Amino acid sequence: MTPRFVARQLSHPRGRFGCVIGWLMNRHNANMNAFALRQLDPKHEDRILEIGFGGGVTLKPLIENGAFVAGVDRSHDMVERAKKTWRKAITDGRAEFREGSVEALPFETASFTKVCTVNTIYFWQSLDAGFTQIHRTLSAGGRVAVGFLPKDRMDRMGLPADIFTSRMPGEVVQSMAEAGFQNPRVLRPAPATPWNVIVADKV
């Protein structure tokens, strides 16, 4: 098993090893996901979209909270896994999962009140296209939370540059603002936290 194989699985989980990767992502990303969700402050009446839900660590608390939850992921295997895991929520009309990319979100305009994505922007083909699509699918007054490890930390890991594109917080903030988001702010639970969550609003 080569580092490149693992990197490809992180970007697009497939097969049995993809399920293992999903489980590992759940454990590794748990704190960042929890912090991102706190910034969204999900309510029962919300319609929430998670982009790149992978192993689904945030789906459980969102669905159990009573909100409508939609998910989009590039991985067919992760989408099918979510459909099986949350079959009852789908049947009850409280969840929906689709295969797709952030640059062409397969949802109607103003479909959601909140959007969350964690550790996915390394794989976006275009920040501008992604945030334009997120802005489109959010209703007025909506909020987005984007969690990721910044470029200085990512670059130390020696990940394949053709699979991972490391991002600087300022670059993400600028792209959000250009897409029409207001008041983008970089948040961390503590000054020493290596990752950050950028939160912005649609007015």
Residue spans per domain, the chain: 3-201
- Where does the pLDDT of residue 26 fall: very low under 50, low under 70, confident under 90, or very high at 90 and above? low
pLDDT tens per residue across span 78-113: 899 999 999 999 999 999 999 999 999 999 999 999
The pTM for the full model equals: 0.88
CA distance 105 to 83: 18
pLDDT tens per residue across span 13-24: 555 544 555 545
Query: In 3D, which of 60, 56, 62 has the Cα closest to residue 38?
Result: 62
Report strand pairing: 182-187 vs 112-118: unpaired
How is domain 3-201 classified at the CATH fold level? Rossmann fold (3.40.50)
pLDDT tens per residue across span 167-183: 999 999 999 999 999 99
Report strand pairing: 196-201 vs 138-148: antiparallel
Query: Would you state the structure tokens that stand for residue 34, as one six-digit string?
Result: 């929890």
